[in-house]
Amino acid sequence: MKHHNWNAIPEEQMNALVGRKVIHGEKITVARLRLAKGAIVPLHSHVNEQISMLESGRMRFVIAGDEKILGAGESLQIPPHAPHMVEALEDSVAVDLFSPIREDWIRGDDAYLRGGS
């Protein structure tokens, strides 16, 4: 068993408007993202299934061409390989679950999160 405390995990500043904390397990990655109003996660896709849970704020998701606005307490399931983007409509905090683990993040192949807003 491993114990994790979000308050003790350093936040990685991905760009001026997005910060990320990550826990990698054997078969799952959990990320806690802080997105300032106006932050954009550009269109991308990955092999991982993703569940995004919004703790606070409002975010606009576009997944495979379909748009959905999420508020605090709502979740969204994104299938593997589905092209998607996200816009923070308010200051927001989201917890994302990925399976399998985000090998691309471990390798540092996450440039789409590091540029822009």
Q: Count CB neighbours of 84 within 10 A.
A: 21
Query: pLDDT tens digit string along 61-97?
Result: 999 999 999 999 999 999 999 999 999 999 999 999 9
State the total domains in the chain: 1
Q: What does the pLDDT read at residue 116?
A: 52
What's the domain range around 110?
A: 9-114
**Cis-peptide into 100, omega within 30 deg:** yes
Residue 3 in any domain: the answer is no
- 94-117 pLDDT per residue, tens: 999 999 999 999 998 888 888 755
Q: Is residue 4 part of a domain?
A: no
pTM, rounded to two decimals = 0.92
Q: 50: domain CATH number?
A: 2.60.120.10
Is 33 contained in some domain? Answer: yes
